[in-house]
Amino acid sequence: MEWHEFGQRARKRREDLNISQQEIANALGIDQAKVSLIEKGARKVDLIKEMPVLAKVLRCSITFLVQDETGPVTDDNDPIKRLMQQYFPGVQFEEFEMRRIAQFLEPVLQSYVKSSPELKKKVTNE
């Protein structure tokens, strides 16, 4: 994997979602300067600890970041968006609103999904 290409894809995705480097840094538990280095290809991302978190924050697959073979998460396979559409049909949320809602719902949803097989099926379409 070419780290500079990885950094470019991550930066483009971050900018497309209007997410700041500081938000990425907070999610990864690093400082903003290190996120800048990642985007420049000058710092590698820890594949075990940081890569899954980065993909989650950028709402895309790890494969999208690493190989650019698949696109970002779509409405059809994003559990938060499906849940929002179910409870707020027809409401169009701005991207920043969805990010804020997802930050709140993600831990709650994960907690319930772990304890409820029915909810897991509903949310993940498994």
Express each pLDDT in 55-89 by its tens digit: 889 988 787 788 745 455 555 556 667 777 777 77
Structural domain boundaries of the chain?
A: 3-66, 75-124
Q: What is the pLDDT of residues 80-123, one digit of tens each?
A: 677 777 777 778 877 777 777 777 776 766 666 666 666 666 65
User: What is the DSSP track for 32-88?
Assistant: HHHHHHHHHTSSPPPTTTTHHHHHHHTTB-HHHHHT--S-BPPGGG-HHHHHHHHHS
What is the homologous superfamily of the domain 3-66 according to CATH?
lambda repressor-like DNA-binding domains (1.10.260.40)
What is residue 122's predicted lDDT score, i.e. its pLDDT? 60
Q: What is the pTM of this model?
A: 0.55
